[in-house]
């Protein structure tokens, strides 16, 4: 396919490179990033989108997505698909889909799970909202960039799925880190703790696949001094999106709200910025119950 790719940062660049390696013709645009090998760079987002069958965006937030969509949709050919892989608020995703539909374009919101490693390896999971025809058009690209794409329903539902998933992830990581810190104070060996919980009812992905305790379980960022696989800053962004969505939907999410508040304190007032989101464990290790 002829593809436009806008946003060639840590995630977008390897995704675009994998598309090139699979034989697709990719024209890219980014305000700052260097061109991945094989990607022809355009002078503007609109130029990258012109003539493309699918335009992929990987952008930092909903405001930037809206601005880019307003620029590229007039330049796209009728029947082309705007495929947004950013993680943004549900309202922005649905507004961009309406913007695309108004000029005869398909639109998909398809945020990803898997991080930079998954982008490089082509093993991302895509959570996709949008119409069936657009999903069918984009499916071959999902198969190159990832290992799984789940069609979650109409526009905005991909973002809804990502937000709900990461709210669970943020809450369970905090609980996992709290439990390890408590086990330490009770004199329970961390390996014994892992062996029990990883095969019992407290089991979670945070414990068995991304253990926050160094030297326990499969290799994780904890074993590299908490250099980020998934940064605490990004977890905070996603948790805040979950609370914006909860407020808009009038949903009661007290654990999600508390997780957002704890990550905000960790990132903005403590030493969490630039560290992996599992670095909550050393945070709890150094705290006493009397601490607020």
Catalytic residues: 162
CA 255-150-106 angle, 5° bins = 110
Phi, psi of 57 (to 5 degrees): -120, 140
Percent of the chain that is helix, strand, coil (3-state, to 5) = 50, 15, 35
Residue 244 contacts residue 156 (beta carbons within 8 Å): no
Rounded Cα–Cα distance for residues 284 and 262 (Å): 11
Backbone CA torsion sign across 88, 167, 272, 215:
negative
Which residues are paired to 53 by β-bridges? none
At 151, which helix (H) or strand (E)?
strand 146-153
Residues in the chain: 292
């Amino acid at each position: 396919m002829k593809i436009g790719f806008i946003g060639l940062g840590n995630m977008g660049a390897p995704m675009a490179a994998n598309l090139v390696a699979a034989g697709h013709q990719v024209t890219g645009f980014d305000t700052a990033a260097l061109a991945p090998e094989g990607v022809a760079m355009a002078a503007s987002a609109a130029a990258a989108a012109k003539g493309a069958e699918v335009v992929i965006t990987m952008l930092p937030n909903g405001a930037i997505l809206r601005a880019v969509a307003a620029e590229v949709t007039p330049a796209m050919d009728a029947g082309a698909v705007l495929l947004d892989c950013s993680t943004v608020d549900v309202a922005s995703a649905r507004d961009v889909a309406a913007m695309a539909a108004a000029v005869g374009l398909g639109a998909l919101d398809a945020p990803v799970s898997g991080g930079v490693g998954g982008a490089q390896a082509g093993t991302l999971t895509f959570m996709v909202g949008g119409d069936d025809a657009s999903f069918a058009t984009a499916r071959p690209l999902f198969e190159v960039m990832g290992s799984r794409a789940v069609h979650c329903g109409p526009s905005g539902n991909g973002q809804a799925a990502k937000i709900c998933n990461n709210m669970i992830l943020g809450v369970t990581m905090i609980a996992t880190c709290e439990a390890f810190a408590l086990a330490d104070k009770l004199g329970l060996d961390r390996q014994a703790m892992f062996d029990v919980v990883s095969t019992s009812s407290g089991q979670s992905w945070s414990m068995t696949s991304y253990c926050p305790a160094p030297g326990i379980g499969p290799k994780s960022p904890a074993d590299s001094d908490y250099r980020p696989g998934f940064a605490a800053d990004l977890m905070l962004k996603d948790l805040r999106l979950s609370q914006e969505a909860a407020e808009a939907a009038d949903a009661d999410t007290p654990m999600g709200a508390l997780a957002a508040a704890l990550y905000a304190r960790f990132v903005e007032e403590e030493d969490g910025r630039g560290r992996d989101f599992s670095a909550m464990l050393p945070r709890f290790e150094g705290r006493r119950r009397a601490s607020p």
